[in-house]
Amino acid sequence: MSATHDGARRHLENITGKLTPEEIALRLSTKHHASAARVPGATLTDPDVVEKRWALLPHAGDEAKANVADAVSLERHALFAHNIENFIGTVKVPVGLAGPMRVNGIAAQGDYYVPLATTEAALVASYHRGASVITLAGGCTTMILSEGVGRAPAYAFHSLLEAGNFVQWCVVNTEKIRETAEATTRFGKLKDVRFTIEGNHVYVLLEYTTGDASGQNMVTIATAAVCAFIAESCPVKPQYFFVEGNLSGDKKASSQSFQSVRGKKVAAEVRLPRKIVERHLHTTPEKMVDYWRMSALGGVLSGTIGVQGHYANGLAALFIACGQDAACVSEAAVGVTRFEVSGEGELYAAVTLPNLIVGTVGGGTGLPSQQACLKVLGLAGAGHARAFAEVCAALALAGELSIIAALSAGQFAGAHERLARGKKTDA
């Protein structure tokens, strides 16, 4: 990103203050003195090891230590051993309830109280309002449109001819590749193999279903086994290869989102009668559609991937509460929101999210607090991943309804000021 001459000058003056050029050079130079002590213990979580780690942090103080390494966290230390390295305790994030939110889905059925973990005032209130109007309207319809989690090993060859011969071999041996992958997992299934050739490079996108797990570790282990099989068996030897060539879309927004699926692709829709919009959202269907149309164009002008208001707010809060990989919000928050006014004057609202990497087993879902939040939803354990994904989509829909209502009614800033407990808000 370029900067004007004046802009660069003002920025440098702002960040360097009264430092001289010599002082700046000294601060930015490489330092070779002895480093501070390494953090001990790696995967060990025993309280005595935790104490050694805190001993490295005398500036933190006893109060900080007591808040993070509290008695309950230390008592349960063994539960965290497979989820964290260099353990020093736990962070407590406030959890609030949004709902009831009525979901009429293929997998999710019923009224859900949705646990949201956040430190952002107004967030739970906004999703709670959206969930409430959905329920007043009889609920939203949800459906899983597609499923699949990809991993994309990449291979470099001497020539385009070798790359083509490699792909031909893989096509002929697809069944052996499938058997190799599925031998590493009880629940994962390799459902598709796709190829992208770029010059003498080949990207092999292996797409799996992963049962009730979000599946990222599952597909990585399966793909590593496939790579080992190919390295041993394929007569066309690459110059080098990697287990992931950054084509899978893992933990990033990409235009590929709308061409396939990553995790679960889910849609949700609702029809809100005019009376509900006017009474409970304090606006009209027409104003909400006007705002949606303008915001959609604003998103296009800014280069946004997808058209949506704030999926990330609700998904991040739900992911943290329910033990999902929070970094997957970067891809899960890609999607499309659409509002229309029906011939009967109702508001039709729909969301489609193609990248919901979620699960109800594995990862952080078995930790005490996260398991408890899944139990609040009634979706803990095996057999509930699809329902959880539909709840995610319904929650995103609730959030879109509430934020667009607030913006179209001119209540957005006031709500944040009021719900931030009277504190002045930042920009």
Please identify which residue in the block is written with the tokens 């084509």. 247
Q: Which listed residue (120, 290, 340, 417) is catalytic?
A: 120
Q: Give the dihedral sign, CA 207/213/216/221.
A: negative
Six-digit token string for 167: 């792909």
Q: Which listed residue (128, 310, 384, 416) is catalytic?
A: 416
Please identify which residue in the block is written with the tokens 């269907």. 285
Number of neighbouring beta carbons within 10 Å of residue 169: 14
HEC per residue, 220-231: HHHHHHHHHHHH
Element (H, E) at 54: helix 47-54
Q: Are 249 and 258 in contact (CB under 8 A)?
A: no
Question: Does residue 207 have an active-site annotation?
Answer: no
Element (H, E) at 77: none
Q: Which listed residue (46, 182, 290, 325) is catalytic?
A: 325
Question: Does residue 147 have an active-site annotation?
Answer: no
Please identify which residue in the block is written with the tokens 């704030």. 310
Distance CA(338)–CA(350), nearest Å, equals 5
Distance CA(79)–CA(378), nearest Å, equals 22
HEC per residue, 153-216: CEEECCCHHHHHHHHHHHHHCHHHHHHHHHCCCCCCEEEEEEEEEECCEEEEEEEEECCCECCH
Question: Does residue 33 have an active-site annotation?
Answer: no
Element (H, E) at 327: none
According to DSSP, residue 95 is labeled: E
Element (H, E) at 266: strand 263-272
Angle at 374 between CA 356 and CA 185, to 5 degrees: 60
Six-digit token string for 49: 């090891």
According to DSSP, residue 212 is labeled: T
Cβ contacts of 311 within 8 Å, gap of 6 or more: 332, 333, 334, 335, 351, 353, 396, 399, 400
| Amino acid code (one letter) for 202 | V
> Exposed (0-12), middle (13-18) or buried (19+): which is 385, by Cβ within 10 Å?
buried
Six-digit token string for 354: 């193609």
CA atoms within 13 A on the CB side of 376: 22
Query: Catalytic residue numbers?
Result: 120, 325, 416
